[in-house]
Amino acid sequence: MTGGREIEALIKLLAKLPGLGPRSARRAALHMLRHRETLLRPLAHALATAAETVTPCSQCGNLDTVDPCGICRDPKRDPRLICVVEQVADLWALERTRAFAGRYHVLGGTLSALDDVGPEALHIPALIDRVRADAVTEVILALNATVEGQTTAHYIADHLDPTGVAITRLAHGVPVGGELDYLDPGTLTAALTSRRR
Amino acid sequence: MTGGREIEALIKLLAKLPGLGPRSARRAALHMLRHRETLLRPLAHALATAAETVTPCSQCGNLDTVDPCGICRDPKRDPRLICVVEQVADLWALERTRAFAGRYHVLGGTLSALDDVGPEALHIPALIDRVRADAVTEVILALNATVEGQTTAHYIADHLDPTGVAITRLAHGVPVGGELDYLDPGTLTAALTSRRR
């Protein structure tokens, strides 16, 4: 590399982004330097603004510039329905469906004895408090269908049980548009078992 | 999306980078917001610094924070040897080889009647002036092996001819580590024709 230390520093930081390696970081840096007014300066500004203004919602853990976040303060959303997700990305994915009109609880991960992630770190006691305080009627455990996700879901279900709230999980089955031939046996078994008329 | 307009604006800008789509832009934004002090703020700063300080070298077209650039002002590099490349990315690729100790001339593209890119836009007259002024002995035309690159190379060669400078191009052949089975017939023909003992 030979474009000065400033360009090298920029490329090194860009290469830390998920999905960008050293090669695509160089391409991205050159692309931005060619589009200085339409991309480089606006992106520098957007990053600085995000660093200053975006915070996790103290109620649900979503990221927003206001606290409580836009979802938690939306009066049209049902506070008695809470969807528990692992990450903010999962919340965003569910929001894109426009199929859910309740609120969220972002864990920020899954329980892990190895990485020393306990219930406190995932705000699970706070979730139980919320369920009691807001007279929540249903908690949807929308965790990933991985071992870690399902272990965490079991733990939460066990500890929510005394509150009497209804606990549900997402349905397993064939993805819409999915081909049977490419599905794993577990998903196919679940789709068969939960078959509908 | 639901994380406030600032996050949406950030994701939209990130999605404009080559190699990032809407999905990976969201992942990158969340990753940065999780690593605020080690990635988000430093990257905002690096982009702002690059926008302010990086300029094209007035002699060769390389990008650097000084003008002339580090290569053009390096006394250890031979000013009588000029390597002509299409883009700054090509210059960087050649520099990584550490196999070239001359200077560069970055065209910034290829000749294109359709896009109205003429010799002036590619600084070809300036290249010819440089060849005469610096008593250049060899010009290496390291343009892409595409139709546009080779058309531009021919044009430059024609116009450099009266200066008497030696004009060379990169060798064609089998990439180091490449498998013959995956090579196109044109490359294989070139490799055969230029075979060496």
CATH classification of the domain holding A77: 3.40.1360.10
B118 and B34 within one domain: no
Q: Which chain A residues have a beta carbon less than 8 Å from that of B16?
A: 35, 39
pLDDT for position B184: 87
Same domain, A67 and A49: no
pLDDT interval class at B45 (50, 70, 90) = very high
Q: Which of A28, A48, A91 sits opposite B17 (nearest CB)?
A: A28
Together in a domain, A142 and A175:
yes
* In-domain check, residue A9: yes
> pLDDT class for B190, splitting at 50, 70, 90?
confident
Q: Does B65 touch chain A (CB under 8 A)?
A: yes
Question: How many CA within 13 A on the CB side of residue A12?
Answer: 11
Mean pLDDT, rounded, for B128-138: 94
Separation of alpha carbons A35 and B18, rounded Å: 12
What pLDDT band is residue A72 in, cutting at 50, 70 and 90?
A: very high
A90/A26 same-domain check: no
End-to-end alpha carbon distance in chain A? 63
Q: Are residues A96 and A184 both part of a single domain?
A: yes
Residue B58, domain member (yes or no):
no
Residue A58 in any domain: the answer is: no
Same domain, B121 and B32: no
pLDDT digits (tens, 9 = 90+) for A125-134: 999 999 999 9
Residues 79-108 of chain A with CB under 8 A from chain B are: 87-89, 91-92, 95-96
What domain range includes position A74?
A: 63-193
Q: What is the mean pLDDT of residues B116-124?
A: 94
Structure tokens at B66: 């000084």
Phi, psi of B117 (to 5 degrees): -100, 105
| CA dihedral angle for residue B53, residue B109, residue B143, residue A10, rounded to 10 degrees | 30
Query: Model's pTM, two decimal places?
Result: 0.80
Which chain A residues have a beta carbon less than 8 Å from that of B47?
10, 32, 40-41, 43-44, 47
Cβ-based neighbour number of residue B134 at 10 Å: 15
> Which residues in chain B are closer than 8 Å to A99, comparing Cβ atoms?
none
Q: Both A152 and A189 in a single domain?
A: yes
Closest CB from A13, A44, A95 relative to B1: A95
Write down the H helix ranges in A35-162: 41-53, 88-97, 124-133, 147-160
Provide the domain count of chain A.
2
Question: Are A24 and B18 an interchain contact pair (Cβ–Cβ within 8 Å)?
Answer: yes
* Residue A129 included in any domain: yes
User: Do A130 and A44 lie in a common domain?
Assistant: no
Annotate B54-116 with DSSP letters as a single string. Answer: -EE-TTT--EESSSS-TTTT-TTS-TTEEEEESSHHHHHHHHHHT---SEEEE-SS--BTTTT
Residue B164 shares a structural domain with residue B99: yes
Q: What are phi and psi of A33, to 5 degrees?
A: -65, -25
Asked casually if ipTM beats, i.e. exceeds, 0.85, the reply is no
pLDDT (mean) for A30-53:
95
Strands B81-85 and B103-106: parallel
Tell me: do A107 and A131 sit in the same domain: yes
Rounded Cα gap, residues B38 and A38, in angstroms? 26
Please check the confidence at residue A175 and state whether its pLDDT lies above 60.
Answer: yes
pLDDT of res. B3: 59
| Beta pairing class for A55-56 and A78-85 | unpaired
Give yes or no for A62 touching B (CB within 8 A): yes
